[in-house]
Structures are given as structure tokens and as C-alpha cells.
């Protein structure tokens, strides 16, 4: 991990649980874009159309 981020892995939690693969991918992209924007290490959101950015930021 770059940027000297310090994570507390012992106190982590599941944010969403989805058994369908495609729905899980979409949920993961949403959560990464919406909550983990400060990390700048994620690549999972590259397939998410940028047209959704303003919608995601409004949530």
C-alpha cells in the first residue's frame, strides 16, 4: 500500500454481501468509488462508466 495508510484490519467489517457475481462487482465498484476515494490504489472501478460518478457522489 502506498501513501503510508494505516489500516486497522482487526476491526474491519463487511459493507455489503451479494452472492450474484455481476451484482457483486457493481456493488464493489460503487463502494470503492463512494467510500475509498482517498486510497487511490483501487483499479476495480475502471469498468464503471464515468457517467455514474455524480450519482455516486450524491449518495
Flag whether 17 is in a domain: yes
Flag whether 29 is in a domain: yes
pLDDT number for residue 1: 46
Domain that holds residue 51: 12-57
Flag whether 42 is in a domain: yes
The answer to whether the beta carbons of residues 54 and 32 sit under 8 Å apart is no
pLDDT number for residue 42: 53
Q: Please count the other Cβ atoms lying within 10 Å of the Cβ belonging to residue 37.
A: 12
Instruction: Please state, in angstroms and rounded to a whole number, the distance separating the CA atoms of residues 44 and 7.
Output: 19
| Structural domain count of the chain | 1
Dump pLDDT digits (tens) for 7-57.
Answer: 788 988 887 788 998 888 888 777 777 765 555 555 555 666 677 667 666
**CA angle (6, 15, 4) in 5-degree steps:** 15
pLDDT number for residue 20: 93
Instruction: Please state, in angstroms and rounded to a whole number, the distance separating the CA atoms of residues 28 and 13.
Output: 14
Flag whether 36 is in a domain: yes
For the question of whether the overall pTM of this predicted structure is more than 0.75, the answer is no
Amino acid at each position: 500500500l502506498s501513501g503510508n495508510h494505516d489500516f486497522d484490519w482487526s476491526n474491519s467489517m463487511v459493507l455489503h454481501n451479494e452472492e450474484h457475481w455481476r451484482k457483486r462487482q457493481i456493488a464493489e465498484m460503487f463502494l470503492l468509488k463512494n467510500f475509498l476515494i482517498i486510497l487511490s490504489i483501487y483499479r476495480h472501478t475502471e469498468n464503471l462508466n464515468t457517467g455514474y460518478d455524480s450519482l455516486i457522489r450524491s449518495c
